[in-house]
Chain A
Amino acid sequence: MLRRLPPALAALLLLAASAGHAAENITLVSSLPRTGSANVQTTSLVNGIRLAIAEAGGTITVGGTAYTLTYLDWDDASPEAGHWDPAVEIANANKAINDPDVMVYIGTYNSGAAKVAMLPLNQAGLAMVSPANTWPGLTKPGVGEANEPECYRDHGRVTYFRVVPADDIQGQVGAQWAKELGAASVFVLHDRELYGLGIAKMFRLNAEKLGVRVAGFEGIDGKAANFRPLINKIRQSGAQLVYFGGTTETGAGQLAKDLFNAGVQAKLMGPDAFFNKALMAGAGDKALEERVLVTFGGLPPEQQTGKGKAFVDAYRAAYHGEPEGYAIYAYESAKVVLAALAKAGKKDRAAVVAALAGMKDYDGALGTWSFDANGDTTLMVMSGNTVRAGQFAFVKLLGK
């Protein structure tokens, strides 16, 4: 057996060698779940990044030297998990750290994945820009865990930035919207994941503040064959609205369907992780039509103006389809990263971090905004959406 090993090893080395590359190169990587039901959303995200790089002509001049821009689209999910996989995320982070050409790590999609990757990237001084993480604790002190966000920051240094507003805002506008719709009592569910549980707690907190009765607060098992027993419980509670802090991958579709099939009149409200086409595929149009309410950070494509509209038009032209909800954030992330690289003036990780931290009044597709001291965007626009005829339809601006 041992004698058979060397050829195999040689083949492996050959494979690795062909992956090697020349100097004068700056690499951007993204780490997003490319397997599982988030994939449609993340394909659109990756398209957004590619568009930004294509607009720069695939090259960038930093401090007078012209560099080729290499973009690597990494998957942080595994098919068996069906969503992001911590081991893969860690491996991605380490891969990026160990490749000196990598200047920025664009990601992650899931906040749970960010928690895993943030500290190693921070220790390595590699900037991380997320187009989609919404867990408040990643950046803001006092709203997440007791040791957050300090536990992600080696010596308090901020290397993590996000262009999307955090969940404390989303839970608040969701509860506000529920009250405006006249719901006197709500049943709050969550999928026990970091994101879902976090946002469900925010929603509950704000609902109670607004005087909306919380009839129940329960975790669910997203892989259950159906939620019929749970629906019975919800019907008994007489709740007028069901809020699910969860995602399309953790049972949103099945929940919408079971609620509808059991003849429950209460509408289903969910956070931005509902805002993707996989929801339609999983629930069927009938169960969603005017019955599902989705809060989303930022405006849907057709409501965009100015540079935002220019992005939507360019996206349509390049990919012959509509951008998904987060695509514009991915585009904005890549754009702001390129701006920071140019501003940094040298191919150096620390300089890039400093340039990002000093990014003020950036005029981009999302409007004019800055990174604050925590690495958060100063932007806070939210929209409320529903489903009409199998498409997401804008209902109103929230939180203004």
Chain B
Amino acid sequence: MTPRQIAALSCGGLVLLLPVMELLLPNGLKIGSLVPPIMIFAIIGLGLNIVVGFTGLLNLGSAAFMAIGAYAFSVVTCPVHPFQIGFWAGLVVATAVGALAGLVLGLPTLRLRGDYLAIVTLGFGEIVQDVLKNLDAITKGTQGLNPVPAPTLAGYAFTSANYAPWYYLLLALLGGTVWLCANLRRSRTGRTWVAVREDELAARACGIAVVRAKLLAFSLGAALCAAGGALWASLHGTSIEPGFYDFQLSVVVLCIVIVGGLGSIPGVLLGAVIMIGFNSIVLTKLTDLLARHGVSSTNVLASPGNWKYLVFGLALILMMRYRPAGLLPAREVRDELRRADGATPEAA
């Protein structure tokens, strides 16, 4: 075995056995309960990766699709409304509603040029937040819908107190999503997407139905984001509130895709670990550590959380400067960048 394979295998083993191994650890060392958010964001990142990475459409509104999924799920499962169809049916409905929303937004706007599309998706994100906030009768405004049910599997009901079932359920769903994305990428559809990304005009000239390819990518991406949103709501037991699904969140998802490597599936997974892990593990532990040693957060500089965006921002800039293809880039993106470098040597 090569060192790379050994590393991959041990990583895989660690991921599989984490909840079991944690039983042996003291409290301060346990991080397993913080992993489910990472897995949900990996699913969302994979959805956005289809749109931005495979097809080259800049979508700045992934949080809106997450919100649509979370709220669709909450409406059909929350006791406030009469449906209460349960977790699994709710997840299916949320995913379908997400796909439909992607289609509805995509139809009139996908013929726009890249940056115009970006601003439209950004605007869509703002509209969704406002609509959810204002349709008080359905969404309960900023209260959010709650309680939202956790899954039940073969009679076993999940709770927030025990994270291990969540861990394995999400691991399975994430695995399924990875499998789906990898197969899509290799399929005829996937090659169509890449053709559209590389040169829309040439793709059209070759007889590819560009708009249909874009629409498919857009609504598939939206569906995965929505599914992620539904899982997020279920994990937290509430749809949370509309303001949570803001532009910052869209940017975090975009960063997951870009930091890992546009178009690269392992890249997205690593991106989720880094971006969400930094947030929910490193920052949390650091804040705890400071709190235990009596450093209070009265001074704005003393709270590690207050440095978050500075660190995010710096990381993004340095990354774009020195590893623009991401940490685990897709092969063709890496090659392309290398070629671009060679073509214009004076640009550096």
Interface residues, chain A, CB within 8 Å of chain B? Answer: 1-3, 5, 12-13, 15-21, 34-35, 39, 43, 46, 70, 72-75, 78-81, 85-87, 90-91, 93-95, 97-101, 112, 115-116, 119-120, 123-124, 145-147, 151, 192-194, 197, 219
Contacts and interface: CB of A to CB of B under 8 A. Distances in A.
B160 A94 contact: yes
23 contacts: A2-B8, A3-B7, A5-B7, A12-B31, A20-B26, A70-B292, A75-B297, A78-B308, A80-B246, A80-B248, A86-B238, A87-B236, A94-B33, A94-B163, A101-B27, A115-B143, A116-B238, A119-B146, A119-B147, A151-B147, A192-B133, A197-B141, A197-B142
Contact of A192 (B3, B29, B141, B284): B141
B291 interface: yes
A95 B284 contact: yes
A15 B286 contact: yes
A214 B298 CA distance: 41
A12 B29 CA distance: 9
A126 B66 CA distance: 31
Given A5-B7, A99-B27, A19 B244 contact: no
A146 B144 CA distance: 14
A46 B296 contact: yes
Contacts of A80: 246, 248, 309
B305 interface: yes
A12 B8 CA distance: 19
Contact of B240 (A34, A86, A91, A94): A86
B180 interface: no
B11 interface: yes
B134 A219 contact: yes
Interface in B228-246: 236-238, 240-241, 243-244, 246
Interface string B206-236: 0000000000000000000000000000001
A219 B133 CA distance: 10
Contacts of B80: 145-147
A181 B61 CA distance: 48
Contacts of A19: 28, 285, 288-289, 292
B28 A12 contact: no
Nearest to A77: B305
A119 B238 CA distance: 10
Contact of A79 (B79, B291, B296, B305): B305
Contact of B79 (A12, A75, A90, A147): A147
A75 B303 contact: yes
A105 to B, nearest CB: 14
B30 interface: yes
A158 B11 CA distance: 44
Contacts of A46: 296
B29 A16 contact: yes
Given A34-B303, A73-B296, A80-B248, A17 B29 contact: yes
Interface of B: 3-4, 7-8, 11, 26-31, 33-34, 37, 79-80, 133-134, 140-144, 146-147, 159-161, 163, 236-238, 240-241, 243-244, 246, 248, 270, 280-282, 284-289, 291-292, 296-298, 303, 305-306, 308-309, 327-328
A117 B236 CA distance: 9
B236 A72 contact: no
Contacts of A81: 243-244
B297 A21 contact: no
Given A5-B11, A18-B289, A73-B297, A151 B328 contact: no
Contact of A78 (B34, B305, B327): B305
A91 B284 contact: yes
Task: Kindly list the 6 A-B residue pairs having the minimum CB-CB distance in the complex, ordered from nearest.
Answer: A20-B28, A2-B7, A19-B28, A86-B240, A120-B160, A16-B29
Contacts of B133: 192
B58 to A, nearest CB: 21
A87 to B, nearest CB: 7
Among A97, A116, A145, the most chain B Cβ lie within 10 Å of the Cβ of A116
A21 B7 CA distance: 32
A314 B203 CA distance: 76
A35 B34 CA distance: 22
Contact of B160 (A3, A97, A147, A219): A97
B291 A74 contact: yes
B298 A43 contact: yes
Given A20-B26, A35-B306, A87-B236, A97 B161 contact: yes
A114 to B, nearest CB: 11
Given A74-B291, A87-B236, A192-B142, 19 more contacts: A1-B270, A2-B7, A17-B28, A17-B29, A19-B288, A21-B292, A70-B292, A73-B297, A74-B287, A79-B308, A81-B243, A86-B144, A94-B33, A97-B160, A98-B30, A98-B33, A99-B27, A112-B144, A116-B240
Nearest to B249: A80
Contacts of A13: 29
Contacts of B305: 35, 75, 78-79
B275 to A, nearest CB: 14
Contacts of B237: 90, 116, 119-120
Nearest to A116: B238
A278 to B, nearest CB: 14
Contacts of A12: 31, 281-282, 285
Nearest to A84: B241
Contacts of B142: 112, 192-194, 197
A86 B244 contact: yes
A15 B141 contact: no
Given A2-B4, A46-B296, A87 B143 contact: no
A142 B52 CA distance: 49
Nearest to A74: B291
A17 B288 CA distance: 12
A73 B30 CA distance: 20
A26 to B, nearest CB: 14
A49 to B, nearest CB: 11
Nearest to A219: B134
A73 B161 CA distance: 22
Contact of A2 (B11, B29, B246, B282): B11
A95 B270 CA distance: 24
Given A2-B8, A16-B285, A124-B161, A115 B238 contact: yes
B32 to A, nearest CB: 10
A194 B143 contact: yes
